[in-house]
Structures are given as C-alpha cells and as structure tokens.
Amino acid sequence: MPSIDPSSSSNLKQQVSRSKIYQLKNCRLVRDGKIVKDDFWFRDGQILNPEPVFFTEKARADVTVDCQDALICPGFIDIQLNGGYGYDFSSDPEHLEEGVAKVSKGILSTGVTSFCPTVVTSSPELYHQVLPRLKPRPGGPEGAGILGVHLEGPFISMEKKGAHQPEFIRNSLQSVQDLSDVYGALDNVTMVTIAPELPGALDAIAHLANKWVTVSLGHSNGNLEDGEAAMNKGATFITHLFNAMLPFHHRDPGLVGLLTSRKVPHPVHYGIIADGIHTHPAALRIAHRTHPEGLVLVTDAMAAMGLSEGEHQIGQMKVNVSGQCARLVGSDTLAGSIVTMDYCVRQFIKDAGVSLVEAIEAATKHPALAIGHSHCKGSLNYGADADFLLLRDQGDSISILHTFIAGVCVYSAPTAPHLEYVHHHHTDKK
C-alpha cells in the first residue's frame, strides 16, 4: 500500500470517511493513569470500544495503521492562552480572526487540540467587539478547537495587576449588572478570573457559577478567608498559582492555602506556568505534592510565543525574545510567557520529578475537568472525541509526532515517520 503523508489535506480527505472504523496497531496508550499496550479504535470522530463492534455489529476495521510503537495520549488543552505568533487576542480587534486562525493552526505542532483564547483586562468597548466573535468551535485541519473564552480581568486587584493595564481595572462591582455592562453577553465565555476580595465579588462569582462559567481566583490581594468565601460561592479554580497573589505566609497562606483548606466543599484546580521562569521548580514541587489532582498546566503565553529570537514589535510593546524568555526592550521585565504546552509538559517532568503519565494528565485530563469538558475531552475513554497525539517518548521526555483532531491527522512533525493507512475490503461485513 502507498505511504500516506498525514499533513496533506488532500490525502486526509481521501483517508477519513465518517463511516469507516480505524484501528491503530502497535501502539501504547495513556489510559486510566497508566501506559497500556493496546490497539486504539475510532469512528466518526469518536473513540470506539471495539468489543461491541466485534460481538454486536460483527464488524472489523476498515483501515489499519501501524504506529511503530508510538505512545498515544489525549490532545493537550490550554485554558489560558493570550496569543502567539505575533497576535494578541486582547489588543487588535481589527485582525482578530486572522490572529485566531494563525494561533489555532500554529499550536497544533505543540500538541494542543483545544484551547481557551484568553482576553486580559480591557475596555468594555473591546470586550463588546471581541467576545461575540470568539465563538466555541470544533477543531480540524484549520486549527485547534475553541472551548470558550477565558476572561482574565478586569475585576482584579490593582496591587496584583501584573502586566494588566491599570486604566481598565475595576476594583469593585456594584451589582451583577456590572458583568453585563463590561463584558456584554457571556454566551461564548467558559472561564472568568476575578479577585475575590473586591466589593461585590462574591455575588458576581455566584452569578457566574450559576451560568456554568468556571470562576477562577487570581490577580488578587485576598487572603485565605477571601478565597474560601469565594470557593463556597462557586469558584473552583486558581489562576497561575503563586503569580499575582499574596505570597504564602505561615500565618495566612493566602490563596495558596486553598489547596489544603478544609472549608472548601469541592475539588480545587489551579493553573501552573511550568516554564522554569514564572514558577520556581521548588514551588512547583510543593504545589504538586500538596494537591497533584488539581494541577493544570497552562502556558499563559502571549504574542511572542512562536516568534524567532530577536526584537519584535507587539502592539505598543517592543520585546526581545531570547531562549524561553520575552523581556521588554531596555529592561529585565518579563513581557509574559512564550512557552508552548509540549515544553511545559517536558519542564514539569524535569522540575517536579513527576511521571510521564502525571505530566500528560496535567495537560489533558485536569484542564478538561476544570472547565467541565471531561465527558468529551482530555481522555482516551470510549465515546470521547478522537483528539489525540502520537508521541515519541524517550526516557521521561516527549516529542510530538502527529496531532489528530476528530480522527483526522492535522499535523505531522517534519521528522515523523509517515503513517501508512492500509484499507481492508470486507465482502462479508454486515
């Protein structure tokens, strides 16, 4: 049979049929917290349980693929991504669609199959322009899927603003109507980061949680008591733990203390930027060993992600990209993260000493749980979307070979072996 280049869209159209059963052989799967040797089946863009296919349908695979001992894991999910490849979702509405297209296509090579475009503290006018255009959408050859917008601000602490523009920060909410006045409609919103200590924040948190929006605490000067009150109103997440919040103190551990609080009625998830820069390896190890099930890897990447080394003009900023850092030109100030998700997975393994499976679950299973998409994303469970990666694993490290969305190969690394699709014609198939 001829060798098929999965990166070719014309070949993809020929290879994938909505009615065909695909069987990936000679592979290992990240499933149920471990690596198992098994075949991997999918049909109609969903992961398939082969047993009823054999015994009920009396069917066999229409297409088989030899994966050459590759490791298969769910596609990565990035729930905090501000931009990349020269585009910022918060600063250039005129080129928003172009920017989203560029970023969603670019991150396929990093293993990301779904993401939440993140809009940082902005003016109401920008929110009203941008949010209606950032609709959730399935992924495909054109790029990673959008699971909804993450709104990071503007209801945050001025003292913990980080790189957010101070002129747009709102330090209180008079009523939940302020949410509509600032954001407009919340139809496309999956997550909102808010500082829990602000006047009116607790009512806003309850309102958002009732609308099935994941509420995250961050950019906050609040103490542990503020955090516990917010969690009891429906907040479930902490934005980039350790960054833009009160530092851990033994008499008031701040929001970090939520990881072990006995006053929180539900599991807590928290984002970590595992780039070796924003979070010290020792802090990363402390967080993981304290509450491993809640750790969610995020890139928090900004527009300089994916750009070549050197000086770049991004919006009003001039930044210098060197290694895994982007700094404002003429200073030592970090302009934001520029790491990719596959880099974060590798760095997490290196810095925290976690297993390969633990690192993968922090980029797949945990973010899906955090935003309520675990029924269809973040696992290789039967019935889940067939968004998955073929990886080369060497020791405790990984590299992306092929990225699949809904069973379609949407990216292949230049050095990856071509996948050979072998078609079977079953004359006895019922």
Domain residue ranges in the chain: 9-73+379-423, 76-308+335-370
144 marked as part of a ligand binding site:
no
| 3-state secondary structure at position 282 | helix
98 marked as part of a ligand binding site:
no
The answer for residues whose C-beta is within 8 angstroms of residue 398's C-beta and 6 or more apart is: 71, 342, 345, 346, 356, 360, 391, 392
Half-sphere CA count of 280, side-chain side, radius 13 A: 4
pLDDT band at 161 (very low <50, low <70, confident <90, very high): confident
pLDDT band at 405 (very low <50, low <70, confident <90, very high): very high
- Comparing 10 with 380, which gets the higher pLDDT? 380
| Average confidence score pLDDT of the chain | 91
Query: Which tokens belong to 223?
Result: 């103490």
The domain 9-73+379-423 is placed in CATH, from the list 3.10.20.30, 3.40.50.2000, 2.30.40.10, 3.90.1150.10, at 2.30.40.10
266 marked as part of a ligand binding site:
no
125 marked as part of a ligand binding site:
no
E strand map for 75-218: 76-81, 83-84, 87-88, 112-120, 145-146, 149-152, 189-194, 214-217
Mean pLDDT of the 117-128 span: 95
Q: Is 62 a catalytic residue?
A: no
Give percent of the chain with pLDDT exceeding 70: 94
Give whole-number Cα distances, 340 to 148, 351, 376, in Å: 20, 16, 23
pLDDT digits (tens, 9 = 90+) for 58-91: 788 899 999 999 999 999 999 999 999 999 999 8
Instruction: Say what the pTM is.
Output: 0.93
pLDDT score recorded for residue 13: 40
d(CA 350, CA 237): 25
E strand map for 329-396: 334-337, 388-394
pLDDT band at 11 (very low <50, low <70, confident <90, very high): very low
CATH topology of domain 76-308+335-370: TIM Barrel (3.20.20)
E strand map for 130-238: 145-146, 149-152, 189-194, 214-217, 237-238
- pLDDT value at 10 more than 50: no
pLDDT score recorded for residue 328: 80
Q: Which helix (H) or strand (E) holds 269?
A: strand 269-272
pLDDT score recorded for residue 225: 97
- pLDDT value at 285 more than 90: yes
289 marked as part of a ligand binding site:
no
- Across the chain, which distance is largest between two alpha carbons, in Å? 73
d(CA 309, CA 295): 30
240 marked as part of a ligand binding site:
yes
Give me the sign of the Cα torsion angle 46, 52, 57, 60. Answer: positive
pLDDT score recorded for residue 16: 47
d(CA 302, CA 336): 6
pLDDT band at 312 (very low <50, low <70, confident <90, very high): confident
pLDDT score recorded for residue 4: 39
Mean pLDDT of the 35-44 span: 96
pLDDT band at 325 (very low <50, low <70, confident <90, very high): confident
Phi, psi of 386 (to 5 degrees): -80, 60
- Comparing 349 with 92, which gets the higher pLDDT? 349
Is residue 45 within 8 A of residue 21, CB to CB? The reply is: no
Q: Which of 78, 92, 300, 342 is catalytic?
A: 300
Is residue 305 within 8 A of residue 338, CB to CB? The reply is: yes
pLDDT score recorded for residue 59: 81
336 marked as part of a ligand binding site:
yes
pLDDT score recorded for residue 12: 44
| 3-state secondary structure at position 364 | coil
pLDDT score recorded for residue 35: 97
pLDDT band at 15 (very low <50, low <70, confident <90, very high): very low
419 marked as part of a ligand binding site:
no
Half-sphere CA count of 342, side-chain side, radius 13 A: 24
163 marked as part of a ligand binding site:
yes
Give whole-number Cα distances, 111 to 76, 319, 345, 360, in Å: 6, 26, 10, 11
Mean pLDDT of the 198-218 span: 98
pLDDT band at 330 (very low <50, low <70, confident <90, very high): confident
d(CA 95, CA 315): 12
pLDDT score recorded for residue 427: 62
pLDDT score recorded for residue 286: 96
